[in-house]
Amino acid sequence: MKRFNLKFAVGLLALVIGVVIVWASGIIQMLTPAPAKSSSSSTANETLEVASPTGEESNKIVIRFKGFELYKGWVAKFEIANYTAKPITYIGFKDKGEFDFCTLAAQREEIWEPSGNKARASGTRIQYHCLESKAVILQTVMPGERIVFSVFKNDVQDLVTLRGKYKNAQIGFEFFVDDEKRREMLWSEDITFPDDEN
């Protein structure tokens, strides 16, 4: 009987210590600030408020080129800011990640000297991960909000002939705008690719 009482007391003590440890760790987690979100390109896009537009940006949807980052190859980052009074939408995934848009376009324009004739190369495609996915939905960017899209350099080069001397292009993203949800390709400014062939 003494042996049983000793085992019971040890078991009860172990249970009480376990409960105290779990309770204490929960209190510590509540008091410890959460770690900052990673700036990795795989993180979800959050629609954030944007600064007031300049005079020429007012009532427009603006695409700003934010530069290149090296992430499994060169990645161009674009900020899309909705300065209109209406929400805009695009086809993308529920996760709303930086790579989770469905329509990508690219174009470049070359002026031939001395004739001044212009030649344009362009291409548009639906991203392969969107074609058969059931997770694709309409995502909304409200007035005064912004999102960030990221594009691999090689994806753009596959859409237009940019090998050799061609180092620049404009990037386009498809949105549905205004009350009638008119389909529109919105273009970035002309960007220049890094020389590194990664």
Residue-by-residue DSSP string for 96-140: -BTT-BSEEEEEEEEEPTTT--EEEEEEEEE-GGGSS-S-EEEEE
Q: How far apart are CA 79 and CA 58, in angstroms?
A: 16
3-state helix, strand, coil in the chain (%, to 5): 20, 40, 40
In this prediction, residues 137-163 reach a mean pLDDT of 85
Q: Average of pLDDT values for 135-142?
A: 90
List the strands of the sheet with 48-49, edge to edge.
48-49, 145-152, 74-82, 61-70
**32-41, 54-63, 77-86, 170-179: segment of lowest average pLDDT:** 32-41
User: Across residues 16-34, what is the average pLDDT?
Assistant: 43
Distance CA 6, CA 127 (A): 67
Q: Which residue has the higher pLDDT, 158 or 78?
A: 78
Are the CB atoms for 152 and 146 separated by under 8 Å? no
pTM for the predicted model, two decimal places: 0.66
Phi and psi at residue 157, to the nearest 5°: -65, -25
Confidence band for 71, pLDDT divided at 50, 70 and 90: confident
**Could you give the domains of the chain?**
48-192 (2.60.40)
Question: Which of 47-51, 64-68, 126-130 is modeled with the greatest confidence?
Answer: 64-68
